[in-house]
Structure 1
Amino acid sequence: MSDIDELYEKAKEKLEAESFQHGTPEDVIRSICLEWLEWARTNNTKAVELLADAAKDTEGAYKAMENFARTKKGREGNCVKLNPLEAMACVMEYYGIAPGEAHNQLEAGLMYHLMMAECKKCKPYGADEQAADTAPASAAKATPVSDPENKPYEKPKLEEVSPSFSFDDFDSELEGLL
């Protein structure tokens, strides 16, 4: 087993050993870090080593995100929310990735990988993951959507107002309702 494989196993065990209530910010960060670990292993980045560091944990990453959000100024004072790109960059910086390098990795495919992993969690009920990945149309029998490329464009027809229309007639009809 190579050093990178040992570090990968160590980091994965460390992250999986952390236990948080489902849906809490720490739980979400932990699952994102697990996906980041998979991406880092595939793309040979140093994140595997950083995630294996015993001194760094998910709670610390969450606290780093909170501190960053508190210092970020919004329109009406301090910010309490971060967009996903900022949040992940903050987590990566906590673990030791340089700020510029964090954005480079996110734009080079990491953010796409994280979003696709999140999308896989929302597969249709009763569909196994393989079926959802290989044949999404057959896995979820949704209402058929017409193919817009096979239909010619039809210009919408404007309704013509008859020349005999007058607002006086309209007003008298409304008065009768009152």
Structure 2
Amino acid sequence: MKKFIIPLMLVISGSLFSQVSIGTGSQQNNRWTFGGGIGVGFGSNSAFYLQASPRVGYKITDDLEGGVVGSISWQTSDYYKSTMFGVGPFVNYYIARSFYVGANLQQYFINYKDKFYDYKVNEQETALYLGGGYMQRIGANSFMQLGLMYNVLWKENSSVFSSGLVPNIGFVVGL
């Protein structure tokens, strides 16, 4: 079932963003970009994960973009329930519209509840992601981004995240 749902979500997302880019045309004077990513996961003990990360950017130059990205995720299982919101600025530099390098500062607000012990945590964490990746054109001015970012502020014993390394898949319209 997992092998079917994840590719289906990627195809649906790609077709939605492709349709948006066809409708906007190739306006050279429009410097705004839109996009984001979605994620769905399943695991043992009835684990379910849903994540969305919308973004709005502005082309400072043809190869440099800055903007704001948000993030919201819900996780649940037989043992815990978690909600996380994040928001912050980003900057991307594009190399020949095939590769990108970027930085993203996120402030996360985390609500966690352990169902077994009735333990609750409300905390915040700051993350500074640095990395880059590959871009694949999927429409007139839209791209799919495949990348890898690393949170340089991550510390093993004091972070709510299990790792500082984050793979990502996203879509951008307006480049």
Q: TM-score range by the shorter chain?
A: under 0.3
Q: Considering fraction of residues, name the structure with more helix.
A: 1
Q: Considering fraction of residues, name the structure with more strand.
A: 2
Q: Which has the higher contact order (CA 8 A, sep 6+)?
A: 2
The structure with the largest alpha-carbon Rg is 1
TM-score computed with the length of structure 1 as normaliser: 0.27
TM-score computed with the length of structure 2 as normaliser: 0.27
